[in-house]
Amino acid sequence: MEKCNCSNCELKAMFFENISKDDINSICSRKIEKSFDKGDYILSQGDEIMDFLYLKSGLVKLFIHNENDKEQIIAFAKPFDFLSILSVFSGKYYSYSIKAIEKSVTCNIKMEEIRKLAAENGAFSFDLLQRMSLISDKIILESLEIRKRNLKGRVAYILLFFKNHIYQAAEFELPISRKEIAEYIGMTTENVIRALTEFRKDNIIKIYGKVIEITDIKRLESISKHG
């Protein structure tokens, strides 16, 4: 855990355009960096909401534990996504968990500072609400996009998601397990394994352990679109 270097603070451009220079300097001087290894919990469902977090580097998953104590992945977050923005006004405790799926670093600001700014600054409050709405819309739309597809379409969709939105590369190390893919797309682990095997047999992808290489992007895109 360490103080952030604020000589070139990302928050100035990312979030705090509508607050005073003194306020941004005060926040930047007190925000704390925390590092997490892959598999570490960043926060747990039921934890008290103490800090406002954004992801400085790495990759994380947001998920809930359902009534059977199984994980249901809500979304993935990449660098400079705000991890706790959905909980700014929601209550005292987190309704979801966040876990690092790659080595990650967060920047943490005391939530009381964010709430104080929101109460005192209408433009900042509007910006905060706008970002909350955008994130909520993104989660809802992605869920609908996945669920209107069949099995192969869902697996193709998630592979293209990592290719296009996370790694910007046709070859990457899949950061989540087959089980986690199944949790995210609402299918069984066995179905996910079967779909990946069929993609490999059809020369659409190559699999090297955890590494996926998409060798026929057009066919994968067609499966995702029409599946």
Residues 26, 137, single domain; the answer is yes
pLDDT digits (tens, 9 = 90+) for 37-63: 999 999 999 999 999 898 999 999 999
Distance from C-alpha of 93 to C-alpha of 87, rounded to nearest angstrom: 8
Following DSSP, what letter does each residue of the chain receive, concatenated? Answer: -EE---TT-HHHHHT-TTS-HHHHHHHHHH-EEEEE-TT-EEE-TT-B--EEEEEEES-EEEEEE-TTS-EEEEEEE-TT-BSSGGGTTT-SB-SSEEEESS-EEEEEEEHHHHHHHHHH-HHHHHHHHHHHHHHHHHHHHHHHHHHTS-HHHHHHHHHHHIIIIII-SSEEE--S-HHHHHHHHT--HHHHHHHHHHHHHTTSEEEETTEEEES-HHHHHHHHHH-
- Residue 169 clears pLDDT 70, i.e. is over it: yes
The gap between the terminal CA atoms of the chain, to the nearest Å, is 45
Residues 44, 104, single domain; the answer is yes
Question: Which of the listed residues 145, 165, 181 is the one where a domain comes to its end?
Answer: 145
Question: At which residue do the structure tokens 């955008």 appear?
Answer: 134
Residues 82, 100, single domain; the answer is yes
Helix axes of 21-30 and 111-120: crossing angle, nearest 10 degrees: 170
Residue 9 has what pLDDT? 55
Residues 141, 179, single domain; the answer is no
Residue 166 has what pLDDT? 92
pLDDT digits (tens, 9 = 90+) for 193-202: 999 999 999 9
Residues 69, 127, single domain; the answer is yes
Residues 96, 187, single domain; the answer is no
pLDDT digits (tens, 9 = 90+) for 174-192: 999 999 999 999 899 999 9
Please say whether the beta carbons of 87 and 94 come within 8 A.
Answer: yes
- Residue 16 clears pLDDT 80, i.e. is over it: no
Residues 102, 183, single domain; the answer is no
Q: Is residue 1 part of a domain?
A: no
Question: Which of the listed residues 145, 178, 210 is the one where a domain comes to its end?
Answer: 145
- Residue 162 clears pLDDT 60, i.e. is over it: yes
pLDDT digits (tens, 9 = 90+) for 125-148: 888 888 888 888 888 888 888 989
Residues 66, 115, single domain; the answer is yes
Range of the domain at 153: 149-226
Residue 184 has what pLDDT? 92
Question: Which of the listed residues 145, 169, 195 is the one where a domain comes to its end?
Answer: 145
Residues 15, 106, single domain; the answer is yes
Stated pTM of the model? 0.84
Residues 136, 175, single domain; the answer is no
Please say whether the beta carbons of 63 and 99 come within 8 A.
Answer: yes
Higher pLDDT, 7 or 28: 28
Total count of domains within the chain: 2
Amino acid at 103: K
- Residue 2 clears pLDDT 70, i.e. is over it: no
Cα 7 from chain centre: 27
Residue 15 has what pLDDT? 61
**Percentage above 70 pLDDT, the chain:** 92
pLDDT digits (tens, 9 = 90+) for 67-125: 777 788 999 998 888 888 777 777 789 989 999 999 999 989 888 888 888 888 888 88
Domain with 201 in it: what CATH number? 1.10.10.10
Residues 84, 100, single domain; the answer is yes
